[in-house]
């Protein structure tokens, strides 16, 4: 069985992503980024948590006024 070819590192953790791994590829202007699937899910959860915290802070600020 031939060795899998390594491609660019994961945009989140830096580990190399292989063609036989589960990964997501995002095309940006002038750049392509790859995430291992687990890293992508972790980043989405972090963003959701940060967004919820920001919403809570904004709601509390609006109620004070």
pTM to 2 decimals? 0.62
In the numeric block, which tokens belong to residue 44?
A: 């989405």
Q: Mind giving me the DSSP string for 24-42?
A: EEEEETTEEEEEEHHHHHH
Task: Please tell me the distance from the alpha carbon of residue 24 to that of residue 38, in angstroms, as a whole number.
Answer: 10
Model confidence pLDDT, tens digit, residues 26-50: 888 888 888 888 998 998 999 899 8
Q: How many domains does the chain have?
A: 1
- In terms of residue numbers, what domain contains 51? 6-64
pLDDT band at 4 (very low <50, low <70, confident <90, very high): low
- The answer, yes or no, to whether residue 15 has pLDDT greater than 70, is yes
Q: Is residue 37 assigned to a domain?
A: yes
1 found inside a domain: no
Domain-embedded: residue 33: yes
């Amino acid at each position: 069985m031939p060795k899998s070819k390594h491609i660019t590192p994961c945009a989140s953790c830096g580990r190399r992503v292989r063609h036989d791994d589960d990964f997501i590829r995002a095309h940006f202007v002038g750049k392509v980024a790859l995430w291992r699937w687990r890293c992508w899910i972790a980043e989405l959860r972090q963003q959701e948590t940060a967004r919820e915290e920001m919403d809570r802070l904004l709601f509390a600020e609006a109620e004070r006024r």
